[in-house]
Amino acid sequence: VIHSGIPITLVPLDATNTIPTNEQFFDEFEKSQDTYEAQYSFKSLKMTRDTWFDSNFYTSYFMWDSFTVGVAASIMRNSNRNKGENEFAKMKYMNITVITSNKPYGISDGSNPLFDGLEVPKFNLKKGSVHSGHIQQELTDPFCFVKIGTGRCQDGYTKEVDGQDSVKVLVATKAKPNKDKKSLLDREFFISFLNILKQPEQAGRFNFTSQFPYYEEITYKPDLQNKVLGKPVVFDMDMSAGDFLALFYLLKVPVEIINLKAIIVSPTGWANAATIDVIYDLLHMMGRDDIKVGIGEFFAMNQSNPNFPPVGGCDYVKAIPYGNGGLIDSDTLFGLARDLPRSPRRYTAENSVKFGAPRDTDHPELRQPLAMEIWESILQTLEPGPKITVLSNGPLTNLAKVVSDKNISSRIQEVYVVGGHISKSGNDKGNLFSVPSNKYAEFNMFLDPLAAKTVFESEVNVTLIPLSIQRKASSFSSTLNLFRMTQKTPEAVFSRRLLSRLLRLKESHHRYQHMDTFLGEILGAVVLANGHSCVLDAKFESKSVKLFAEGLESTDGKIVVDDKNGKLVRILTHVNAKTYHEIYVTRLGDSNQSAKVGSFKEQKKNWSYPHDTKCAHQQKTTKSFTA
């Protein structure tokens, strides 16, 4: 972009580092809450301060983006001038470039696609220029490290240079001081920022509670005191569309058969971690705000950076498409997530000293629990005797951590793993459509092969619901035909809409040819609840299997039968497909354990008009009901 010929104005860290959000600005901002946007912006800033990793927030957090917007707007208002005159920053023309490689320049070590193997470099770059050296390959590229001092790699550094590699750019160098020397605010931009946010012109019309004047925070929790609860189950999901369809089913099975204790989220699969809010919404819809939800590891095993765990590699999750048919569709539940009723429970950044935070935020009780904390909580409240059954519908990242802890793994009855593929011939391929070199792996195994290997080789009993039986048993047309004839409960209607959308996309666009993958994920939940039923006619075989996790893209996640070195697992080989569809659809249409709030549309209606004069505005209540 900088070398494109388009005039560029740069507001670098050198400039934004001169406008820290100091304590005086923070205090003035707190007093300036005249508009909804001011309130929202301050809450965001306050949460950032309250969750800051050390006590130096006021000297290490700066007005990055907002300052840049202020500088840009001011320059545009003064567009009749050509030197970037503005109210908020001192400006200067500089000759710069963006460093894309590292010395020694002109080498060819296979790291630089702009030069390596090309007779004519890309973009008319010159051999021996600042762009012709080694390009950093990863966060821990050995080339970049030196024995003493700072690493030597400068990829991405904007450097002031002369010559043919440079471009003349307008650069902000420093935030201007406040013209009013008596003011507590020492930067001119602070004054403008606060004044703009509080002015009534073009102010926000609503916040949530003004948009819905009869809004209530209600949580629904079933009264289970007089129930003989069934098998305790933990559902581990990566929040794909199929996982939500399976979750609806689990919540419909009578609590006397399945007692869903918790949901564990794996953000290493088909959806980003923020999709956890869709789980909260679905649980609220079904009246199960009592079910705990824990967020798991953000990286597959051995993918996080050992020196800085919040970042890491994407060797496996990169197989998930970012756009159509992948993350954007999963995160929005193919456009249907906003149709679910809104739960009072959300993911928040709230934190607590109790769990290692440097300070309590305003509402530490709202902190998002982690997966292992949920496991520990379950075991503390579990009555002596029964063991936990786990249904895993995604990568086995979290489960690998669980089975490695003897105190937890000893309390697990068995694990149902939806995934894996055991090829019977060269043409019997897996579903890893985005990795052509890997013909026989299945997504859930490939997304974290080392975790899958850890689980398979552990002492827990594993029941595999492989890709082959998912393919045999699944049918969009049969399932949708049954939905058209079943009772129209809110959960049945929503599930039918989601399945219809998956099928329509599959039939209309090449990027959606893998939608059968999500349909197959329902099978594990149905087998878990009905595996011993003669009607379903589920048949299993025990085989010794081995899973590949050797760091090779072409074989990782592949499962083979290995009688000598493999681990014995139970494998589902047959179900009555017709009965399977009927069991699933009939359960969704059952009026028992049905939705308490059918949709966001219904919720909006309740919040927009008076419906109970005894209810106080914005009252937070809990409603119990008999399951």
pLDDT digits (tens, 9 = 90+) for 257-272: 999 999 999 999 999 9
Between CA 598 and CA 605, with CA 602 as vertex, the angle to 5 degrees is 165
Q: Which of 79-93, 125-139, 359-373, 598-612 has the highest mean pLDDT?
A: 359-373
Span 206-262, pLDDT tens digits? 999 999 999 999 999 999 999 999 999 999 999 999 999 999 999 999 999 999 999
Dist CA 588 CA 586 (whole Å):
5
Q: Evaluate if residue 622 carries a pLDDT over 80.
A: no
- Which residue, chain included where needed, has tokens 């195994």? 445
Dist CA 285 CA 593 (whole Å):
11
Q: Evaluate if residue 625 carries a pLDDT over 90.
A: no
Identify the band that residue 475 occupies on the pLDDT scale cut at 50, 70 and 90.
very high
**What proportion of the chain, given as a percentage, has pLDDT over 70?**
97
| Closest to 470 measured CA to CA, from 415, 527, 432 | 527
Q: Evaluate if residue 567 carries a pLDDT over 50.
A: yes
pLDDT of 506: 96
Please state the rounded mean pLDDT for residues 43-49: 97
**Which residue type sits at 163?**
G
Beta strand 89-98 with 167-175: parallel, antiparallel or unpaired? Answer: antiparallel
From the centroid of its chain, how far is CA 35?
31
Identify the band that residue 616 occupies on the pLDDT scale cut at 50, 70 and 90.
very low
| Closest to 130 measured CA to CA, from 102, 155, 107 | 102
Please state the rounded mean pLDDT for residues 316-329: 94
**Per the structure block, which two tokens stand in for 119?**
């007779």
Sequence spans of domains, the chain = 217-603
3-state class (DSSP) for residue 209:
helix
* Half-sphere CA count of 327, side-chain side, radius 13 A: 14
pLDDT of 614: 47
Dist CA 41 CA 21 (whole Å):
13
Could you tell me what percentage of the chain is helix, strand and coil, using 3-state DSSP and rounding each to the nearest 5? 35, 15, 50
From the centroid of its chain, how far is CA 530?
31
Please state the rounded mean pLDDT for residues 532-548: 94
Q: Evaluate if residue 306 carries a pLDDT over 90.
A: no
pLDDT of 615: 45
Q: In sequence order, what are the residues at sequence separation of 6 or more whose Cβ sits closer than 8 angstroms to the Cβ of residue 244?
A: 278, 279, 282, 333, 498
Give the C-alpha distances (Å, rounded to integers) separating 155 from 132, 133, 474, 622. Answer: 12, 10, 49, 54
Beta strand 388-392 with 158-160: parallel, antiparallel or unpaired? Answer: unpaired
Greater confidence (152 vs 614) lies with 152
Dist CA 322 CA 497 (whole Å):
23
Looking at the DSSP bridge assignments, the partners of residue 546 are 560
393, 246 in Cβ contact below 8 A?
Answer: yes
Dist CA 401 CA 411 (whole Å):
14
- Name the phi and psi angles at 570, rounded to 5: -95, 130
pLDDT mean across residues, the chain: 93
Please state the rounded mean pLDDT for residues 537-553: 96
Count of residues in the chain: 627
Q: Evaluate if residue 24 carries a pLDDT over 80.
A: yes
| Closest to 462 measured CA to CA, from 401, 415, 526 | 415
Dist CA 326 CA 482 (whole Å):
28
438, 446 in Cβ contact below 8 A?
Answer: yes
146, 152 in Cβ contact below 8 A?
Answer: yes
Dist CA 429 CA 350 (whole Å):
45
332, 244 in Cβ contact below 8 A?
Answer: no
3-state class (DSSP) for residue 624:
strand
pLDDT of 392: 98
3-state class (DSSP) for residue 298:
coil
pLDDT of 164: 78
3-state class (DSSP) for residue 225:
coil
- Angle between helical axes of 577-589 and 241-252 (0-180°, round to 10): 70
**Which residue type sits at 440?**
Y
Domain 217-603, CATH homologous superfamily name and number? Ribonucleoside hydrolase-like (3.90.245.10)
| Closest to 16 measured CA to CA, from 67, 58, 56 | 67
Q: Is 102 buried (19+), middle (13-18) or exposed (0-12) by CB count in 10 A?
A: buried
Whether the upstream peptide bond of residue 104 has omega within 30° of 0, thus cis, is: yes
Write the Ramachandran bin of 537: left for phi over 0, alpha for psi from -120 to 50, otherwise beta: left
Span 156-200, pLDDT tens digits? 999 998 887 789 999 999 999 999 999 999 999 999 999 999 999
pLDDT of 38: 97
Identify the band that residue 626 occupies on the pLDDT scale cut at 50, 70 and 90.
low
- Which residue, chain included where needed, has tokens 């060797």? 315
| Closest to 292 measured CA to CA, from 407, 205, 372 | 372
Q: Is 532 buried (19+), middle (13-18) or exposed (0-12) by CB count in 10 A?
A: exposed
- Name the phi and psi angles at 467, rounded to 5: -60, -35
Dist CA 255 CA 252 (whole Å):
8
| Closest to 55 measured CA to CA, from 429, 342, 359 | 359
| Closest to 496 measured CA to CA, from 478, 514, 517, 521 | 478
Could you tell me where the DSSP H helices lie in 309-440? Answer: 327-331, 371-381, 397-403, 406-409
Beta strand 559-561 with 620-626: parallel, antiparallel or unpaired? Answer: unpaired
Between CA 238 and CA 343, with CA 278 as vertex, the angle to 5 degrees is 145
Please state the rounded mean pLDDT for residues 387-404: 97
pLDDT of 84: 87
Span 109-124, pLDDT tens digits? 999 999 998 989 988 8
pLDDT of 620: 59
Span 583-599, pLDDT tens digits? 999 999 999 999 999 99
Dist CA 557 CA 300 (whole Å):
13
Identify the band that residue 107 occupies on the pLDDT scale cut at 50, 70 and 90.
confident
Dist CA 139 CA 151 (whole Å):
11
Dist CA 104 CA 394 (whole Å):
45
